Amino acid sequence: MNALRLMVSLAFAALLAGCMNLPYNDPLATYHEVKPTSILVVPVVNESVDVQAPSSVLTTLPKLLGEKGYYVFPVNTVKTILEFEGLYEPAEIHQLATSDLASWFGADAVLYVTIHEWTSRYVVISTTTEVDFEYRIVDKNGVELWTARENLSYTPQNESQGGGMASLLSSAITAAVERAAPNYLPLTREANAQAFYYGYTPLPPGPYSHYYEQYYQQLAEEKAAAEAEQ
């Protein structure tokens, strides 16, 4: 459904570009040239006081990026290895040279996420959480490929998340998730989706995506058409 919207908006943008005779400008030119295949997600920097926030962000990134068609390095394995090397602070990890991180793990690119804000406000009936996340994808040579900033105000739906989830999990885990405030994961899923699918520059599909060939072919056609007009 999400990929559908992406393709439609991409096609529409192609049409618009053709109609308006704009000089050809690809905001993701470097990304399209590098075409990263594997993405290393490092632990999340947390500038808020919510201690579970970084775990929540980290755990909802692999599925999104994997479904976009990338090989995503196992986030807990990466975190564990970094800790074994004495790197417990995400801020410290974010300061390391990207080329070092990328070569240690064998990654094409590194995704850095920073939580600038995570604040819950208790309005009469419900809780509204304001979040501010920043995402950066940097390639193994230290070149920034893609960025996004999401300011989101999230209020959970009244209905519970139960049903399908309960059938997959053991009862112990179901209970644990409900204890740990069940809104963390839906919130970060929504924020991540906003950043990677619905922003001004959605993340291009990766090589395992069904849309990969189509996307780059369309891009080539757009570029050829725009250059022909100039």
Partner 1 sequence: MTRILWLILPALVLAGCESTQLYDWGSYEEDLFVYYTEPSEQDAVLADHVAFLDKVMARGQTPAPGLLAEAGTFYLQAGNTEQALEYYQLEYDTWPESRPLMGSLIENLGGQ
Tokens of 205: 């599909």
* In the complex, least distance from residue 125 CB atom to partner 1, rounded to whole angstroms: 26
- For partner 1, the closer of residues 29 and 103 by Cβ is 103
Task: Examine residue 141 and tell whether it contacts partner 1 (CB under 8 A).
Answer: no
Task: Examine residue 160 and tell whether it contacts partner 1 (CB under 8 A).
Answer: no
Among 49, 123, 172, 228, binds partner 1 (CB under 8 A): 172
- 125-136 in b/e burial notation, b at 16+ Cβ within 10 A? eeeebebbbbbb
Residues 22-81 that bind partner 1 (CB under 8 A): 37-38, 52, 55-56, 58-60, 62-63, 66-67, 69-77, 80-81
* In the complex, least distance from residue 143 CB atom to partner 1, rounded to whole angstroms: 20
Tokens of 47: 């500038």
Which H or E run contains 127? strand 127-139
- For partner 1, the closer of residues 39 and 138 by Cβ is 39
Query: C-alpha angle 127/130/134, rounded to 5°?
Result: 150
Q: Which residues contact 215 (CB under 8 A, 6 or more apart)?
A: 10, 204, 205, 209
Q: How many residues bind partner 1 (CB under 8 A)?
A: 52
Angle between the 53-67 and 75-84 helix axes, to the nearest 10 degrees?
Answer: 130
Alpha-carbon gap, residue 72 to 83, rounded angstroms: 19
- From the list 25-33, 133-141, 174-182, 196-204, the region that binds partner 1 by CB under 8 A is 174-182
* In the complex, least distance from residue 174 CB atom to partner 1, rounded to whole angstroms: 8
Asked if residue 39 lies in contact with residue 109, where contact means CB atoms within 8 angstroms, the answer is yes
Task: Examine residue 146 and tell whether it contacts partner 1 (CB under 8 A).
Answer: no
Residues 8-27 that bind partner 1 (CB under 8 A): 8, 11-12, 15-16, 19
* Amino acid at the residue 111: L
Task: Examine residue 162 and tell whether it contacts partner 1 (CB under 8 A).
Answer: no
* Amino acid at the residue 189: R
Which H or E run contains 146? strand 144-154
* In the complex, least distance from residue 25 CB atom to partner 1, rounded to whole angstroms: 20
Question: Taking Cα atoms as reference points, which of 213, 195, 167 lies closest to residue 111?
Answer: 195
Task: Examine residue 126 and tell whether it contacts partner 1 (CB under 8 A).
Answer: no
The residue ranges that bind partner 1 (CB under 8 A) are 1, 3-4, 7-8, 11-12, 15-16, 19, 37-38, 52, 55-56, 58-60, 62-63, 66-67, 69-77, 80-81, 105-106, 165, 168-170, 172-173, 176-177, 179-180, 184-185, 189, 208-211
